[in-house]
């Protein structure tokens, strides 16, 4: 394990940072600081020990801010689609620079992957083009068994006219000769024989081509080893180039109190794993005929989450010293950074500080026609076809009783167009986590920090 230290000496607004990496200088006040060290210029935003640090390799032009989009429109008629707006509209103004860089780096092609593949294909093409060339040809006389019977001939399993038939050959067929020493039979393959009465040996000239690979096998393997070494060296070099081009580094520095807060933040998110089922709502449709729909006022279309992780990065080239909780929705991924929510669709990103994210945590009663999760709380029952009084409608013979389950529902919304709803079968599975997000947002509002 390497040894490291860090020491800061302040002179008014200027701070000198001493560490094993060298000497750095920074100017600013608590919560906003610009500095220079061996790794380049960085921007540090935060207070109380939490920082967002971005190393700037080059000057980034100012990005225009976008006006907030309206909240998702209400349902046209009865069907209401539950989904966020276009991802290009979701980011708040404070996150535009961060999202622009994240999107730009994610959109860049990987030199290591495509460059290495192109070099490997080029070297393989050159290698096999050189060693696949014909250097000489020879004419070889090969003995064959020619079938002379006009009606064809049967091929026997043994050199015996009573042996089982394993095949046949027509007049003029040329069969390979394997044995000509027997008195009355030719061996034409292992376990195959034809009578000499109906066949004869014919000398057939054949042209055989020799490749450079046949004459110089040692040189071929040497060339192949060289090509593999070249591809490996190029892969390593291009991977280092990709690391410089594509890496986005975000480091968080916590004091003891905030470190414990973030640990509790992750622990609270981890409680979702205690829920047997987690769903995403896709559509909500108002029901007019409640009697034929178990008394429900709305029909919900839902699917299970595509993935849940306590630590997953939005891109493989993002480097950070913390764990980032992740929820995988349909066509959308949610990443919960300490200070903001990052959203990904394909290679496009959006981000919203928690101060601009509105959360609703509530209990919901769901008429569960599917299998009831093991951790669900059943609060009552209804009937597939029900009267207004709650009694079963006797006009239907297949009328069955359906449980009512108490689930927890979590709504994520923002003034920029974020609108996602997830539900857990375990009540309160994400209550504590959503309270942490709301508390962080309140702190950001009071401090007016971006």
Q: pLDDT tens, 266-315?
A: 999 999 988 999 999 998 877 666 655 656 667 788 899 989 999 999 98
Who has greater pLDDT, 356 or 112? 356
* Residue that has been written with the tokens 């059943």 in this structure: 378
Quick: pLDDT tens for 107-128.
788 888 888 999 999 999 998 8
Evaluate if residue 5 carries a pLDDT over 80. no
What is the mean predicted confidence (pLDDT) over 10-20? 43
Mean of pLDDT values over 222-251: 87
97 or 349, which is more confident: 349
CA–chain centroid gap for 35, Å, is 36
Question: What is the average pLDDT value for the chain, to the nearest integer?
Answer: 79
Query: What is the rounded CA–CA span in Å between residue 321 and residue 311?
Result: 11
pLDDT of residue 165: 92
Q: Which of 261, 262, 274, 263 is nearest to 431 (CA)?
A: 274
pLDDT of amino acid 190: 80
Label each residue of the chain as H, E or C.
CCCCCEEEEEECCEEEEEECCEEEEEEEECCEEEEEECCEEEEEECCCCCCEEEEECCCCCCCCCCCCCCCCCCCECCEEECCCCCHHHCCCHHHHHHHHHHHHHHHCCCHHHHHHHHHHHHHHHHHHHHHCCEEEEEEEEEEEEEECCCCCEEEECCCCCCCCEEEEECCCCEEECCECCCCCEEEEECCEEEEHHHEEEEEEEEEEEEEHHHHCHHHHHHHHHHHHHHHHHHHHHHHHHHHHHHCEEECCCCCHHHHHHHHHHHHHHHHHHHCCCEEEEEEEEECCCHHHCCCCCEEEEEEECCEEECCCCCCCCEEECCCCCEEEECCEEEEECCCEEEEEECCEEEEEEHHHEEEEEEEEEEECCCCCCCCCEEEEEEECCECCCCCECCCCCCCCEEEEEEEEEEEEEECCCCEEEEEECCCCCCHHHHHHHHHHHHHHHHHCCC
| Of the listed ranges 60-74, 274-288, 387-401, 427-441, the one predicted with least confidence | 60-74
C-alpha separations of 375 from 146, 198, 429 in Å = 79, 82, 11
The Cα 128–Cα 220 span in angstroms is: 9
Q: What is the pLDDT of residue 291?
A: 59
Counting residues of the chain whose pLDDT is more than 90, the rounded percentage is 36
**Please, what are the domains in the chain?**
6-56 (no CATH), 79-107+254-447 (no CATH), 109-246 (2.30.30.40)
Confidence of residue 14 (pLDDT cuts 50, 70, 90): very low
């Amino acid at each position: 394990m390497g040894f490291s230290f860090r020491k800061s000496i302040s002179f008014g607004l200027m701070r000198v940072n001493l560490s094993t990496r060298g000497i750095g200088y920074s100017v600013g006040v608590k919560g906003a600081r610009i500095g220079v060290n061996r790794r380049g210029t960085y921007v540090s935003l935060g207070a109380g020990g939490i920082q967002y640090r971005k190393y700037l390799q080059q000057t980034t032009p100012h990005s225009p801010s976008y006006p907030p989009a309206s909240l998702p429109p209400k349902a046209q008629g009865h069907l209401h689609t539950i989904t966020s707006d276009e991802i290009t509209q979701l980011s708040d103004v404070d996150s535009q620079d961060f999202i622009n860089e994240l999107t730009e780096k994610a959109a860049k092609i990987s030199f290591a992957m495509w460059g290495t593949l192109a070099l490997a294909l080029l070297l393989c093409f050159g290698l096999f083009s050189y060693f696949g060339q014909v250097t000489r040809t020879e004419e070889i006389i090969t003995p064959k068994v020619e079938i002379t019977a006009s009606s064809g001939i049967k091929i026997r399993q043994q050199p015996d006219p009573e042996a089982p038939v394993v095949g046949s050959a027509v007049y003029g067929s040329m069969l390979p000769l394997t044995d000509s020493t027997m008195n009355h039979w030719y061996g034409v393959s292992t376990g195959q024989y034809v009578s000499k009465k109906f066949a004869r040996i014919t000398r057939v000239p054949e042209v055989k081509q020799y490749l450079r690979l046949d004459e110089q096998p040692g040189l071929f393997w040497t060339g192949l080893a060289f090509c593999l070494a070249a591809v490996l060296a190029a892969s390593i070099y291009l991977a280092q180039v990709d690391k410089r081009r594509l890496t986005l580094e975000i480091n968080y520095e916590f004091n003891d109190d905030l470190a414990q807060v973030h640990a509790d933040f992750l622990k609270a998110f981890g409680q979702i794993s205690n829920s047997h089922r987690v769903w995403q709502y896709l559509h909500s449709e108002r029901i007019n005929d409640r009697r034929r729909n178990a008394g429900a006022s709305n029909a919900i279309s839902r699917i299970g989450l595509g993935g849940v992780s306590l630590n997953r990065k939005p891109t493989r080239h993002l480097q950070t010293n913390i764990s980032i909780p992740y929820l995988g929705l349909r066509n959308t991924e949610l990443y919960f950074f300490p200070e903001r929510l990052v959203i990904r669709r394909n290679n496009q990103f959006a981000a919203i500080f928690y101060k601009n994210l509105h959360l609703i945590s509530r209990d919901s009663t769901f008429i569960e026609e599917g299998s009831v999760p093991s951790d669900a709380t059943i609060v009552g029952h209804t009937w597939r076809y029900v009267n207004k009084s709650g009694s079963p409608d006797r006009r239907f013979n297949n009328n069955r009783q359906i449980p009512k389950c108490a689930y927890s529902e979590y709504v994520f919304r923002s003034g920029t167009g974020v609108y996602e709803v997830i539900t857990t079968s375990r009540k309160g599975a994400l209550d504590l986590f959503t309270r942490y997000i709301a508390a962080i947002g309140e702190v950001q509002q009071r401090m007016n920090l971006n």
